[in-house]
Structure 1
Amino acid sequence: MKQYELGEWDLSELAKNPKSSAFQKQIKDLENQAKKFEKIKSKLNPKMSSKQFKMILQQVEEISHKMSKIGGYASLAYSSNTQSDEATSLMTQMSKLGSEISNKILFFDLWWKTQVDEKNATRLMKETGELKEYLTYKRLFAKYALSESEEKIINTLDVTGISALVKLYDKITNAFEYKMKINNKTKVMTREELTNYVRSTNPKIRETAYKTILTKYTENKGVIGEIYQNIVLNWKNEGIEIRGYKSPISMRNIGNDVDDKTIESLLTICRKNSSVFQKFFLQKAKMLDMKKLERYDLYAPAAAKIKEKNYSYNQSVNLVFESLGKFSSTLEEFARKVFNENHIDSSVRPGKRDGAFCSTLTPKITPYVLVNFTGKSRDVFTLAHELGHAVHSQAAQDRSILVQDAPLPLAETASTFSELLLYDNLSDKISDDQKKIMLAEKIDDLYATILRQSFFTIFEVDAHNLISKGTTIDEISKTYLQNLKEQFGNSVNLSDDFGIEWSCIPHFYHTPFYCYAYSFGNLLALSLFQRYKKEGNDFVKSYIDILSAGGSKKPEKLLSEHGFDIRSPKFWQEGFDYVNQQVKTLSSLN
């Protein structure tokens, strides 16, 4: 049986060596194809044949495929070593190239959005198959589109503007070294390594770990706060003032092809159900023999007297395969491909990006997965989560590159569902004591991925509003603290040092308003999982159908075809009913 070992990924399928003539040829081919595409401009006519239109779309797909491949190489090489000057330089070079290519093919996008009448648009879309909804969705942006020259300016300035600010934030924060005393010895750690101590059984160590992280961000709040304010102002200037979107979050909603009403409904229900998790935190305090949790204790092992089980990397990989395989052999095969092709980077090392992600570059290439594996049970769940993303992409691999990726709110569905399958599988193999630990951890995780993420989004709405009117970094931190007070009510004691925590959240910088996608995906996955529990194997086909749609259908439409009305508050409440049930089950194990 194959043994899986920690290591780095192999990016040679994307590029052998960025300094080689072969890589330069890849760039040249792409540039030549984009130049050739520019010549189409004079032939564009709403009355063109649907066959001609289809051929143009195929060229867009080909250019996207080539750009994703070389841009993806640069991005992944940078993630595996953010401190490498070579990787940083290549990343900058490829961002610039991406901007130039986008500018060269931009005219077609603008023509389609703004210059084709409804009658001809309907005729041209007739033979585009899976791209029909994507093309219809594109036309929704007509009222937010600018002239070609204006769009080119924005694309060009983004490379040294917003993208550069995000890269600067990453470079500063990934270079942070954290010094903490463990058993009278000072250890120098990455944030990833230090985060393990947030889950220590020792309350003093938990507190010190948090304070070590928060102090580092407080010391640098001037710079990283200024970066955030400028990112938010850029979002406002371009989105609201230049393009005319209704609100900052509306920009993300329209980009996600989801209605404002659906997201309002989701956030309202999350806010209304904060008491579900508050009950859990009060219960967890009892399990830890405390009167009340401090915020430092939030992720403390709930059964501190029971030794936490460690998992080897090989054991973890096989557990995830087994969990997916019990549900569907197809999904297990998809997960195995990531390892068979060595598209996974799993070891912890200095300079490597924190956290975990899955990167899908094109339908023709198996996704790449990055994790920082340290052997804790949460690492096994992270592995299941990221492989869930990889499974989702591969389920939609027969789609065009233009519609393979699910819109953001659906993007967390397969990842969360994979975690639920893993939990289901593991709970059959462990003792009641171990089950108590795992269930408490699972509810911790549901808090972190549902309630916490929705309150992150509520904070972002407030922060964008404050910054647009002119504010200070300290006022942003006060607003964040207020947000935490509403989340926890009287269930957790909050200290003021958590006010700066917002600046530790990369999503606020990388992708404003991304976070509600976690709440959306998790609550949706809970509903799908409950359906699976009722219907058993009959549900498998329906689930794979949802994944294989990729981004070819609007979320509301796709899910309504499978009996889910996501505009309704009742739908989101069902997810919280499941969480409430888990809290009661934990109570019965104590």
Structure 2
Amino acid sequence: MSNWNLKKLYPSFDSKEFQEDLKRLDVIIEGLNGFKGRFAEHTETLEGYLKNLIEYNQVEGKLGTFSFLSESINTSDEDAIKYINYLMNREADIAEVRTMGEKWIAGLDIQRMAEESSFIGEHIFYLNEIKERERYALDEKTEVLLSKLSQSGGKAWSNLQGLLTSTLDVDMEGEGKTITLSEVRNLAYHKESSVRKAAFEAEIKSYEKIEKAIASALNSIKGEVNTITEFRGYSSPIEKTLIDSRMTQDTLDKLLIAIKEYLPHFRRYLKRKAEILGYSKGLPFYELFAPIGNVDKVFTIEEAQAYILENFSSFSGRLAGVARRAFDEEWIDYCPKKGKVGGAFCANIPPIKESRILSNFTGSFSDVLTLAHELGHAYHGECIFAESPLNTDYTMPVAETASIMCETIVMKRALSDASDEEKIFLLESSLQDITQVAVDILSRYIFEESVFNERRDTVLSSDQLKNLMVEAQKATYGEVMDEELLHPYMWINKGHYYRPSLNFYNFPYAFGALFGRGLYSQYLRDREEFVPKYDNLLRLTGQKTVEEAAQLADIDVTDIQFWRSSLDQVKEDIDLFLELTEGLVGN
């Protein structure tokens, strides 16, 4: 089956199960609101409040995930949209009691209560984090107001971007034949340069129909974030993001410095790619994903599954078992279709201890790596489902840990068995990906930082946004790209820019890619000892800072040498690619 099965959640919106859980949610919300006026420094009260929160998270999470997943494969699904909005409003109904609860928790002697109650002790990281976060909280009425306003503010603008991009008709041939944005962007991997160029031109042209509306969405979201973060007392949105990420500025600085140091090596790779493809003025943006080499393999879904299972089995039986369940129990929605959102994601679902994966699979090796990547997220879920639901909220940087590890497992295994000709293709596919999560991600970080800074004083037109994006791409890709053929609209199709509560969702990909490589090196040094250590790291990501989680694998992410050592692995791949492709230049 190429579609996922959501019946483990609910048979339908009209089903008895879904409707009964809606009623159950009302009862839970009533119970939570009943804590108003009852907050007192009693261990039993705190236990009861936390247990009510867990019940709310489980039921609302199940209802919300079903609605979100249904909408993600059909953005015009009226029932899904209706219930997403309904659940957001119900969330606002407990905003006041949650605000009161967090202020109450901030004043409690959590350590003493943890000694009295093993249940509270189990949640001590969660509770201490609330105490730390409370310094940025506003009064109860303001928190409730912000929660309710967000439904018609930032979240509504975010929904607009998703709707416009998922339903955008792209005229690929200029003769009235249209395809989806996901389909035209997937053509960037086509073996024919003429098709890649035509797809890029069609994509760029299609954005003209929606650029002003989406520029309004981006301005509104970033303006809202600037206003609220300043009002709460953060120095900037990036400070809030780092606190939410449980990550220090020092760690981010060391990561970005290391990437910038290694940009010349990425440019050596891009220059060679331009030479192989016959470009003298630099590589056009639409050729970033052009395949190099003579491997024409197109994977069927079944072949991709078998390939992933074989490679995951080399790591651990548990990892292979999660992948097999995903395939056999229909956790994955594979193929692009009209109304389905672009890209790929994995939704961990604690209430049923399973995950669901969305992809836009067309059979390329890159698509196989994407499947492996998303299955890594499912494996992370498998490890963390053993914990209390309140301890499963891991942060953005470590969110990519398992996914990058799974990508690396598949790629390294493929390289080990490849001929020189196949190595060129595989290396180039790998270098495409790491260039995206280092060089392109850095450009997106620069762009988002610029938008936040500019948005403090003005509203940015779509032309200004395009200029900021091009300048960011020039700063990272450098002279090896054709400056006349960059991608000024990259801000339109990246949904991460449009999530008001999740800003700078770019550097975590770079962190994850390089952290994953560092973990893979640890795995190679001692495979038998590493796997349980790795599983433990994943299990505790909801209860550790980024730095503490890394220490579980004996890694210091505040040491720039760690990032350099991970980037050295990329440099070795670039050196090998240049060596293997020397004879292809000019041919």
Task: Report the TM-score, using the length of structure 2 for normalisation.
Answer: 0.94
CA contact (8 A) 1:413 1:525 kept: yes
Seen in structure 2, the aligned counterparts of structure 1 residues 471 and 23 have a Cα distance that, compared at 3 Å, is closer
Shift of 1:266: 1.6
State the Cα RMSD in Å.
1.9
1:170 is aligned to 2:162: yes
Shift of 1:314: 0.6
Partner of 1:207: 197
* SS across alignment from 2:279: coil
Shift of 1:93: 2.0
* SS across alignment from 1:358: strand
1:84 is aligned to 2:77: yes
Shift of 1:392: 0.5
1:446 is aligned to 2:434: yes
Amino acid aligned to 1:393? G
* SS across alignment from 1:368: strand
* SS across alignment from 1:537: helix
1:74 is aligned to 2:67: yes
CA contact (8 A) 1:192 1:372 kept: yes
Distance 2:258 2:340 in 1: 37
1:281 is aligned to 2:276: no
Distance 1:277 1:145 in 2: 43
Shift of 1:532: 1.4
Q: Deviations over 1:312-369 (max 9, x none)?
A: 1011112112211110101111222223332221132211111111011315420111
Distance 2:51 2:343 in 1: 36
Q: Deviations over 1:209-238 (max 9, x none)?
A: 112112222342211111100000000111
Structure 2 unmatched ranges of 5 or more:
582-587
1:11 is aligned to 2:11: no
Distance 1:21 1:533 in 2: 51
* SS across alignment from 1:369: strand
Distance 1:84 1:286 in 2: 47
Distance 1:286 1:544 in 2: 43
Shift of 1:130: 3.8
Distance 2:464 2:183 in 1: 31
Shift of 1:22: 3.5
1:238 to 228, 251, 258: 228
Seen in structure 2, the aligned counterparts of structure 1 residues 572 and 218 have a Cα distance that, compared at 3 Å, is farther
* SS across alignment from 2:346: strand
CA contact (8 A) 2:245 2:396 kept: yes
CA contact (8 A) 2:73 2:341 kept: yes
Moved more, 362-371 or 195-204: 195-204
Amino acid aligned to 1:513? F
Seen in structure 2, the aligned counterparts of structure 1 residues 69 and 39 have a Cα distance that, compared at 3 Å, is same
Shift of 1:98: 2.8
Amino acid aligned to 2:130? K
Partner of 1:326: 314
Superposed counterparts of 1:363-442, under 5 Å: 364-442=352-430
Shift of 1:103: 4.3
Shift of 1:493: 1.0
CA contact (8 A) 2:8 2:352 kept: no
Q: Deviations over 1:244-280 (max 9, x none)?
A: 1111111111111111222122222222321121010
CA contact (8 A) 1:285 1:293 kept: yes
CA contact (8 A) 1:359 1:369 kept: yes
* SS across alignment from 1:498: coil
Distance 1:558 1:196 in 2: 35
CA contact (8 A) 2:305 2:327 kept: no
CA contact (8 A) 2:13 2:79 kept: no
Amino acid aligned to 2:433? D
Shift of 1:192: 1.7
Superposed counterparts of 1:262-281, under 5 Å: 262-281=251-270
1:348 to 308, 328, 336: 336
Amino acid aligned to 1:100? D
Moved more, 395-404 or 421-430: 421-430
Amino acid aligned to 1:588? E
* SS across alignment from 2:171: strand
Distance 2:186 2:335 in 1: 15
Distance 1:563 1:141 in 2: 28
1:23 to 18, 40, 52: 18
Partner of 1:335: 323
Superposed counterparts of 1:492-531, under 5 Å: 492-495=481-484, 498-510=487-499, 511-531=502-522
Seen in structure 2, the aligned counterparts of structure 1 residues 77 and 534 have a Cα distance that, compared at 3 Å, is same
Partner of 2:36: 41
1:60 is aligned to 2:53: yes
Distance 2:358 2:140 in 1: 37
* SS across alignment from 1:355: coil
Distance 2:182 2:211 in 1: 20
Partner of 2:302: 314
Shift of 1:52: 4.1
Q: Deviations over 1:438-495 (max 9, x none)?
A: 1101001001122211321122111100111114322232222111111121211122
* SS across alignment from 2:413: helix
Distance 2:493 2:336 in 1: 20
Shift of 1:530: 1.4
* SS across alignment from 2:390: coil
Moved more, 54-63 or 494-503: 494-503
Moved more, 455-464 or 360-369: 360-369
Superposed counterparts of 1:116-127, under 5 Å: 116=108, 120-126=109-115, 127=118
CA contact (8 A) 2:102 2:131 kept: no
2:145 to 139, 153, 161: 153
* SS across alignment from 1:269: helix
Seen in structure 2, the aligned counterparts of structure 1 residues 347 and 220 have a Cα distance that, compared at 3 Å, is closer
CA contact (8 A) 1:35 1:104 kept: no
Distance 2:216 2:456 in 1: 13
Structure 1 unmatched ranges of 5 or more:
none
Partner of 1:107: 100
Moved more, 449-458 or 377-386: 449-458
Shift of 1:382: 0.7
Partner of 2:545: 554
Distance 1:90 1:39 in 2: 25
Amino acid aligned to 1:179? D
Amino acid aligned to 1:112? I
2:577 to 558, 568, 586: 586
CA contact (8 A) 1:363 1:400 kept: no
CA contact (8 A) 1:399 1:550 kept: no
1:179 is aligned to 2:171: yes
Distance 2:271 2:94 in 1: 55
* SS across alignment from 2:541: coil
Number of aligned residue pairs? 574
CA contact (8 A) 1:231 1:509 kept: yes
Partner of 2:470: 481
Partner of 1:534: 525
Distance 2:260 2:315 in 1: 33
Seen in structure 2, the aligned counterparts of structure 1 residues 522 and 19 have a Cα distance that, compared at 3 Å, is same
* SS across alignment from 1:469: coil
* SS across alignment from 1:43: coil
CA contact (8 A) 2:344 2:357 kept: yes
Task: Report the TM-score, using the length of structure 1 for normalisation.
Answer: 0.93
CA contact (8 A) 2:344 2:359 kept: yes
CA contact (8 A) 1:34 1:105 kept: no
Q: Deviations over 1:105-161 (max 9, x none)?
A: 442123213x33xxx222123433342122212211121001111111111111111
